[in-house]
């Protein structure tokens, strides 16, 4: 960590009375996203006593946090700026199932040009260049292939 980041981090810790703690990072499916949690001790707890607690319970703490991280990652992500319409979701899912533009047009009762329009708008919503990228990004963002619960 460079000295500027260290200084900011130290000031942050001092502002909140943090004198000891751990930071746990989590594996991710994308190099563009990171997950971590910082565990800080209350004022007056030394790093040595926290180390003893970590020795005793660190594996359990890390496991619980990993489970929470995986659960949070699996939640649908609603971003109004990048939200797919139900028709865009549908055509992307059909593409993911290996259907051609003509197949999808027959399945949804629209023209191939309309299917292309929905795919273009889906690419725009996902801010990507290709339909394959839109399919992948929409999957990671939990916008397609969702199990529908009772209405």
Overall average pLDDT of the 144-151 stretch: 63
Q: Are 69 and 35 in contact (CB under 8 A)?
A: yes
Q: Which of 74, 98, 115 is the last residue of a domain?
A: 74
Q: Is the pLDDT of residue 62 over 80?
A: yes
Residue 118 falls within a domain, yes or no?
A: yes
Residue 102 falls within a domain, yes or no?
A: yes
Overall average pLDDT of the 105-129 stretch: 95
Write the pLDDT tens digit of every residue in 23-53.
777 766 666 666 777 778 877 888 898 889 8
Q: What is the pLDDT of residue 36?
A: 76
How far is residue 59's CA from residue 72's CA, in Å, rounded to a whole number?
A: 20
Tokens representing residue 76 in the block? 């649908």
The burial of 15, by beta-carbon neighbours within 10 Å (0-12 exposed, 13-18 middle, 19 or more buried), is given as: exposed
Domain of residue 67 covers 3-74
Q: Is the pLDDT of residue 3 over 70?
A: no
Write the pLDDT tens digit of every residue in 124-141.
999 899 999 999 989 888
Q: CB neighbours of 7 closer than 8 A, spacing ≥ 6? A: none
Q: Is the pLDDT of residue 121 over 60?
A: yes
Strand partners, 53: none
pTM assigned to the model = 0.51
Residue 18 falls within a domain, yes or no?
A: yes
Residue 24 falls within a domain, yes or no?
A: yes
Q: Is the pLDDT of residue 76 over 90?
A: no
How far is residue 87's CA from residue 119's CA, in Å, rounded to a whole number?
A: 9
């Amino acid at each position: 960590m460079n000295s500027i980041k260290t200084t900011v981090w130290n000031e942050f810790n001092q502002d909140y009375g943090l004198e000891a703690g751990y930071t746990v990072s989590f594996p991710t499916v994308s190099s563009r996203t990171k997950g971590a949690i910082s565990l800080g001790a209350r004022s007056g707890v030394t790093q040595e006593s926290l180390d003893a607690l970590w020795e005793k319970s660190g594996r359990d703490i890390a496991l619980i946090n990993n489970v929470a991280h995986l659960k949070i990652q699996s939640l649908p992500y609603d971003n109004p700026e990048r939200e797919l319409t139900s028709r865009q979701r549908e055509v992307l899912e059909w593409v993911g199932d290996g259907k051609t533009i003509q197949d999808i047009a027959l399945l949804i009762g629209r023209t191939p040009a309309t299917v292309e329009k929905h795919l273009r708008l889906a690419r725009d919503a996902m801010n990507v260049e290709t339909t394959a990228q839109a399919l992948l990004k929409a999957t990671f963002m939990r916008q397609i292939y969702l199990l529908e619960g009772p209405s």
